[in-house]
Amino acid sequence: MNLGQSILFFLIYFFLIILILLEILVIALGIFFMFIGFKSAPYVPSHKKVIEDLLKEIEFKKGMKVADLGSGDGRVIIALAKIGCEAHGYEINPFLCWFTRLRIKKLGLKKQAFVHRKNFFSEDLSKFDLIFTYLLPKQMEKLEEKLLKELKTGSLVVSNAFSFPHWQPFKTTKFLKIYKKE
């Protein structure tokens, strides 16, 4: 075997090993994201039109404290921080938290937008003026109980797509259900 053939065999084996490692990584990430999806809600980002609807329907004031429960890639908290809100996202997926923090830093919103890698069910949400959520129906009943106990009077809750089982919205749009704590 000459030098050229040896180099060719080495390159073929090297690329095969790289392909195998990439396949293992993809499988591991797939299993990780499936686990996260089974543990909570799967990652489904809010559509741009939902965020536009939110910004149109709610009268936001500068400095208003808002939280996005299950903030995913941070698009809601970033939009709210851009209009002057103090926006907090709660997300348990570490990759989505990292990605959101990267976007926040890149956009220069580190003083207005924050993402917490925490389960919002174990957090006190009483400091927020508005809660945004896009959760599955199975989680809405538990969240309804928590919010009715913790939120101060006048706080708003905006749900993308899904309703609370017992709490009646005071306003609905094509995408949103808007609730007010009485």
Question: What are phi and psi for residue 90, nearest 5 degrees?
Answer: -115, 120
User: 75-82 and 48-57 are packed helices; what angle lies between their axes, rounded to 10 degrees?
Assistant: 40
36-66 residue pLDDT tens = 555 556 788 899 999 999 999 999 999 999 9
Task: Match 């749009």 to its residue by tokens.
Answer: 173
128: which DSSP letter?
A: -
The CA-based dihedral angle spanning residues 59, 65, 66, 70, taken in that order and rounded to the nearest 10 degrees: 180
Task: Match 């009268």 to its residue by tokens.
Answer: 59
Q: What is the SS3 assignment for 116? A: strand
Determine the Cα–Cα distance for residues 178 and 131; give it in Å rounded to an integer: 10
Averaged confidence pLDDT in the chain: 91
CB 150 within 8 A of CB 121: no
Q: Give yes or no for residue 26 having a pLDDT over 90.
A: no
Q: Give yes or no for residue 162 having a pLDDT over 90.
A: yes
1: which DSSP letter?
A: -
Q: How far is CA 40 from the centre of its chain?
A: 12
108-147 residue pLDDT tens = 999 999 999 999 999 999 999 999 999 988 899 999 999 9
